[in-house]
Structure 1
Amino acid sequence: MIFRQLYDATSSTYTYLLADEHSREALLIDPVFEQQQRDLALLDELGLTLKLVVDTHAHADHITAAWLLKQKTGCTIASAAVINAEHVDLPLQHGQHFGVQGIDLQARATPGHTDGCMSYVLADQSMVFTGDTLLIRGCGRSDFQQGNASTLYRSITEQLFSLPDSCAVYPAHDYHGRTRSSIGEEKQYNARVGGGANETDFVGYMQAMQLPHPKKIDEAVPANLRSGCPEDGQLPPQANWADLRITFAGVPEVEPEWLIHNQPSVTLLDVRQPEEVIDGECPSALQPLHIPLDQLRQRIADVPADKPIIALCRSGRRSAMAVSILQEQGLERVASLRGGLLRLNQ
């Protein structure tokens, strides 16, 4: 199985990518709206097809990317049936098995943080994705959005602590940089529900907590009840000056074919050293401007700003750095030529 744990620093949210190595089918758990380009880039670079997006609950701290990813890829959306969210193709019931080819998950209803919380257990019970129900050494709060501490206690102890001690715990959030735990660890060391705590212990702890209201709850919850679809039902605006591809590293790129068909509407910036440049290696129509990468910051005034800029080098690596430098200087319509001259001259 291909597995990746991704992180959104703004909301401290983990998104999980699971994919089958043979079918190349993938699913995402708890994707974040603002991170959809990152997630799509990773899928593309790994050669995966997104078939399913699933949320663990209706989040109060971020907006899901489920609807947006469906528009981009045609994937299916799943979440707990009790949430009754719009645009959901697969409303999940407790005990239901679901997934993609080669990846089998079981949905377990684990309410208490919200009524619609679900945890997803890999078929061999080696991994569980617990949403906000069980966190590393903690758990989700129970003081809003249908929260109930007694219900949460039973969800954790009956549905999650019944899994093997070796089962790896992957939560929806962590605010201290911790990435995973295990059922055995949490049963013993969880600060709220571990170490033999009973329901009275747990409820007393939870009721004594005084936490600030989630900052995005008024925006996030209604949006998540629409599976992340904006109120106007429109896709967010995207750069329209080029057919851009954003890499997993965050670099905007264009394909050589796009560049060839869109000259002379762009400035082609060659950032190689002078001794690397060979007459005739670029199509004559491209006519690049040559500024070595190590001189670019000092010669930024020599770069025309009236047209989009496509940076070029041998392999596309130095040109990616050139894009970063250009962006630092406030230039927005910039991209690297994907694969550089190696790809252009294939």
Structure 2
Amino acid sequence: MIFRQLFDRQSSTYTYLLGDSEAGEALLIDPVFENVQRDAALLRELGLKLLATLDTHVHADHVTAAWLLKQRLGSQILLARAAGATQADRLLVHGERVQFGRRHLEVRATPGHTAGCLSYVLDDQGMAFTGDSLLIRGCGRTDFQQGNASQLYHSVKMQLLSLPGHCLLYPGHDYRGLTVTSVAEERAFNPRLGGDVNEADFCGYMNHLGLAHPKLMDIAVPANLRCGQPEGGAALPDEPTWAPLTCSFGGVWEIQPTVLEERLGDGADAIQVVDVREPAEFSDALGHVPGARLVPLSELAARAGELARERPIVTVCRSGARSAQATVLLQRSGFQAVANLAGGMLRWRAEGLPTEGGAA
């Protein structure tokens, strides 16, 4: 099984990817709208097809990426029936299973933080994804979205802390940089729900937190009740249109060699090819892309003013590593339309594309 824990700094949200490598199928739990490119790139690089997104609840602090991922990757949207949301493809209830390849998640209803909270337990009970119902040494608040402290107490005790002690628990958020806990740890050390804490203790604690509402609540909740669809059915967020590009998991926009070769030209809006190798490499056995301009990486920041800001730039090196860093430097200098040549000159030559200089 493939497992990845991903993080959104703005909302301190964890997104979880679970995949079956043999079947090539995956699920995403609690994806964040702003991280769609990152998540799609990781799925592509791991060779996984996204079957579905699963939100643990209707979030109040970020907008889900469920709708956007469905538009881009064809994945289904899964959410609790009790959440009352529209646009979902499958409304989940307690006891259902969500399959991916040979593995599955068991759906457990854990209301209390909100009325529509779900937790997802892996088939072997080695991992559980608890959303905001159970956090690391804490739990979600219970003072809005039909929250109920008594209900949350029973949800956690019966559905989560009843799992085997070795079961690892992965929360929807953490604000201190903690990443994982276990059932045994939370039974013993959770100050709100562990040890000898009873329902009266818990409810007394939760009903007097006195917290301000999340800053994005008025935006996030209505959007998440539409599973993340922009208001009024707005179009997808803009992506680069000057060429077909893909974004790597590392956040670098890349252009494929054959696409670049088709777009080489001399017009006013033609792509600028910037080779960031050293001078000796520019004319070595690999040669260089026809019309490429040599600007070594060590000189790029100082010489960025020599490049036209109104024309797209493709950076090139031997393998694509140095040129990836070049895209970062150019973006810091204010260039918007920048991409890296995927695979560099090694791939350019391997695909038999024309070169200037170099060996036959």
Tell me the TM-score normalised to structure 2 length: 0.94
Q: Does the residue aligned with 1:88 lie in a helix, a strand or coil?
A: coil
Aligned position for 2:140? 140
Residues 57-108 of structure 1, C-alpha deviations (whole Å, 9 max, x = no match): 0000000000100111111111111113222111111111112112211111
Q: How big is the shift at 1:302? A: 1.8
Q: Give the partner amino acid of 1:274.
A: P
Q: Does the residue aligned with 2:302 lie in a helix, a strand or coil?
A: coil
Distance in structure 1 (CA, Å) of the matches to 2:252 and 2:237: 19
Aligned position for 1:294? 298
Residues 175-201 of structure 1, C-alpha deviations (whole Å, 9 max, x = no match): 000000001100110011111200011
Aligned position for 2:310? 306
Distance in structure 2 (CA, Å) of the matches to 1:37 and 1:305: 24
Aligned position for 2:259? 258
Aligned ranges 1:87-126 → 2 under 5 Å? 87-126=87-126
Deviates more, 1:99-108 or 1:164-173: 99-108
Q: Give the partner amino acid of 1:16.
A: Y
Q: Give the partner amino acid of 2:321.
A: R
Deviates more, 1:94-103 or 1:104-113: 94-103
Distance in structure 1 (CA, Å) of the matches to 2:155 and 2:310: 60
Q: Give the partner amino acid of 1:71.
A: Q
Q: How big is the shift at 1:283? A: 7.1
Aligned position for 1:271? 276
Residues 263-294 of structure 1, C-alpha deviations (whole Å, 9 max, x = no match): 1210000000011122784577x310001100
Q: How big is the shift at 1:158? A: 1.0
Aligned ranges 1:131-280 → 2 under 5 Å? 131-233=131-233, 234-264=235-265, 265-278=270-283
Q: Give the partner amino acid of 1:235.
A: L
Aligned position for 2:13? 13
Whether the 8 Å contact between 1:52 and 1:99 is mirrored in structure 2 is: no
Aligned position for 2:356? none
Distance in structure 1 (CA, Å) of the matches to 2:8 and 2:140: 18
Give aligned-pair identity as a percent.
53
Tell me the TM-score normalised to structure 1 length: 0.97
Structure 2: segments with no counterpart, 5+ residues: 351-360
Does residue 330 in structure 1 map to residue 334 in structure 2?
yes
Number of matched residues? 345
Q: How big is the shift at 1:232? A: 2.5
Q: How big is the shift at 1:159? A: 1.0
Distance in structure 2 (CA, Å) of the matches to 1:202 and 1:330: 52
Aligned position for 2:349? 345
Aligned position for 1:315? 319
Whether the 8 Å contact between 2:288 and 2:345 is mirrored in structure 1 is: no
Q: Does the residue aligned with 1:129 lie in a helix, a strand or coil?
A: strand
